[in-house]
Amino acid sequence: MGLLLDVEDTAVTRQTTEAQARVGTVGAIRLIAFAVAEADDNQADWLQTGIYDALVGPDGVPDIAAACGKLALDAEEAVRRSAADISAWTDGTGC
């Protein structure tokens, strides 16, 4: 989680988020959701950018929406809320 919320280097946040999003599993997106729940506004912007980078990258599109759909039922309220935010970020990407 430290890499997702690196306060010293936003590039680390962006690249770690992109890498996790490219994995695309429920577990990987859950980690991002936990980070979103803890992030300040600046960190959240870079988390969102990392998600976007994964979606528009040349290596294919991970099914982030499906993972977010499963996380909508997560036991942790913060994860459910953040998964909804992540899902909203993916709307309109054309992916």
Residue 61 has a pLDDT of 64
- Alpha carbon 11 to chain centroid, angstroms: 15
Residue 95 has a pLDDT of 43
Residue 93 has a pLDDT of 54
Residue 47 has a pLDDT of 96
Distance CA 6, CA 94 (A): 29
Distance CA 33, CA 31 (A): 5
Q: Average pLDDT for consecutive 10-residue bins of the chain (95 residues)?
A: 84 95 94 96 95 82 86 96 93 55
Specify whether the CB–CB gap between 18 and 57 falls below 8 A: yes
Specify whether the CB–CB gap between 80 and 67 falls below 8 A: no
Residue 94 has a pLDDT of 43
Nearest to 17 by CA among 64, 77, 59, 75: 64
Report pTM. 0.89
